[in-house]
Amino acid sequence: MFQIVCCALDDTNKVVARHPMQPLYELWEDATAMAEFDSSRIYDDYGYDEKRNYWWARNSRGQMYRFEVEEVTATELGNSTPQGMTPHSN
């Protein structure tokens, strides 16, 4: 299973918050297509970073976001957390 994770970035492009999005997708290709759709629909400026394999977007205030596709393991599915932006720890 694959999940789209929306990451908010600070001015130095470091992740400051992560928001796992629903639903889960069986195919990586489906999740990636939806990540593209989400980035293009929600934000003013968007594109694809081929080197790092994620979609990015910038809103009208200049806030940057990444839409990453991550594989979700069975263990992670059983340990779900409430939806919402959560602080990112390095």
Strand 15-20 versus strand 45-49 pairing type: unpaired
Boundaries of every domain in the chain: 2-74
Is the pLDDT at 11 greater than 50, yes or no? yes
pLDDT confidence tier of residue 42, bands split at 50, 70 and 90: confident
Query: What pLDDT sits at residue 17?
Result: 97
The model's pLDDT over 72-89, given as tens digits with 9 standing for 90+, comes to 986 566 655 444 444 444
The model's pLDDT over 27-41, given as tens digits with 9 standing for 90+, comes to 999 999 999 999 998
Taking the model in full, what pTM does it have? 0.76
Mean residue pLDDT of the chain comes to 85
Query: What pLDDT sits at residue 61?
Result: 87
Contact 68, 5 (CB under 8 A): yes
Which is more confident, 41 or 47?
A: 47
